[in-house]
């Protein structure tokens, strides 16, 4: 299929799944229109890439529903100067979205095959402001800390302490919390380091594996 076919599907995805549900940040909409999601899903699922649902990736993990990717990206309020930490690279789709909308991204994945294929994919498609780390991200990634924004795409029973520390003053973090039923939590740190947590949407993510 030609690229035009997929850009039409992408435009439809943005209109019917994302704009219609109230996402209005123009940079989020622009990146969702731009990043070729079909190149991030497993080969057999290419024609399902732009549907309004999560899909299975390899190794029993998932690629999140487009709306959830857009929603989490919007509440991060990304700036072009931001340094971003992502835990749970998975397919690298969310990573590509972050890469388009910020200055620099560190992404951590614990499953070697997923890490390697996301890294290859991101390099091949020219996303060159990303460092892909193989390892457990429960404690974040201290060597590049602090981060203006942190996004966790797997659910933790509670917010890992290390991630709180690695968030910059005036930083924002979005993380699904809970076992069984989960809520997306928005953590904000003010300029004095004071932390505030707000419960947001109910979500379903695979578990964030503890060390």
Listed in sequence order, the residues at least 6 apart from 109 whose beta carbon sits closer than 8 Å to its beta carbon are 88, 89, 90, 115, 118, 132, 133, 134, 137
109: contact with ligand SAH by CB under 6 A:
yes
In the region spanning residues 137 to 166, those forming contacts with ligand SAH, defined by CB under 6 A, are 137-138, 153-154
Between 31 and 94, name the residue whose CB sits nearer to ligand SAH: 94
Listed in sequence order, the residues at least 6 apart from 162 whose beta carbon sits closer than 8 Å to its beta carbon are 138, 139, 140, 142
**Euclidean distance between CA atoms 86 and 99, whole angstroms:** 11
62: contact with ligand SAH by CB under 6 A:
yes
Between 158 and 169, name the residue whose CB sits nearer to ligand SAH: 158
Between 2 and 40, name the residue whose CB sits nearer to ligand SAH: 40
Among 70, 111, 163, 184, binds ligand SAH (CB under 6 A): 111
91: contact with ligand SAH by CB under 6 A:
yes
What totals of helices (H) and strands (E) does the chain contain, helices first? 6, 9
Among 18, 49, 108, 163, binds ligand SAH (CB under 6 A): 108
Q: Which of 53, 58, 114 is nearest to 86 (CA)?
A: 114
208: contact with ligand SAH by CB under 6 A:
yes
Listed in sequence order, the residues at least 6 apart from 180 whose beta carbon sits closer than 8 Å to its beta carbon are none
In the region spanning residues 163 to 202, those forming contacts with ligand SAH, defined by CB under 6 A, are none
* C-alpha dihedral (51, 52, 53, 57), degrees to nearest 10: 40
Q: Which helix (H) or strand (E) holds 175?
A: strand 167-177
Between 77 and 136, name the residue whose CB sits nearer to ligand SAH: 136
45: contact with ligand SAH by CB under 6 A:
no
Q: Which window, 2-10, 76-84, 85-93, 172-180, contacts ligand SAH (CB under 6 A)?
A: 85-93
Chain contacts with ligand SAH (rule: CB under 6 A): 57, 61-64, 87-88, 90-91, 93-94, 108-111, 114, 136-138, 153-154, 206, 208-209
């Amino acid at each position: 299929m030609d690229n035009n076919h997929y850009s039409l599907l992408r435009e439809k995805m943005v209109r019917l799944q994302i704009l219609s549900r109230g996402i209005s940040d123009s940079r989020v909409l622009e990146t969702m229109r731009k990043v070729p999601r079909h190149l991030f899903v497993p080969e057999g699922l290419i024609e399902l890439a732009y549907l309004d649902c999560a899909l299975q990736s390899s190794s029993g993990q998932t690629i999140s529903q487009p709306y959830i990717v857009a929603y989490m990206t919007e509440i991060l309020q990304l700036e072009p100067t931001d340094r971003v930490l992502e835990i749970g690279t998975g397919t690298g789709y969310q990573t590509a979205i972050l890469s388009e909308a910020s200055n620099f991204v560190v992404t951590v994945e614990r499953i070697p095959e997923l890490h390697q294929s996301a890294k290859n994919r991101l390099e091949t498609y020219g996303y060159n402001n990303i460092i892909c780390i193989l390892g457990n991200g429960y404690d974040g990634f201290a060597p590049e800390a602090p981060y203006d924004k942190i996004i966790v795409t797997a659910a933790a029973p509670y917010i890992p302490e290390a991630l709180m520390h690695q968030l910059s003053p005036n930083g924002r973090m979005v993380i699904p919390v809970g076992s069984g039923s989960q809520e997306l939590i928005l953590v904000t740190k003010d300029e004095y380091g004071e932390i505030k947590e707000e419960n947001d949407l109910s979500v379903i993510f695979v578990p964030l594996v503890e060390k």
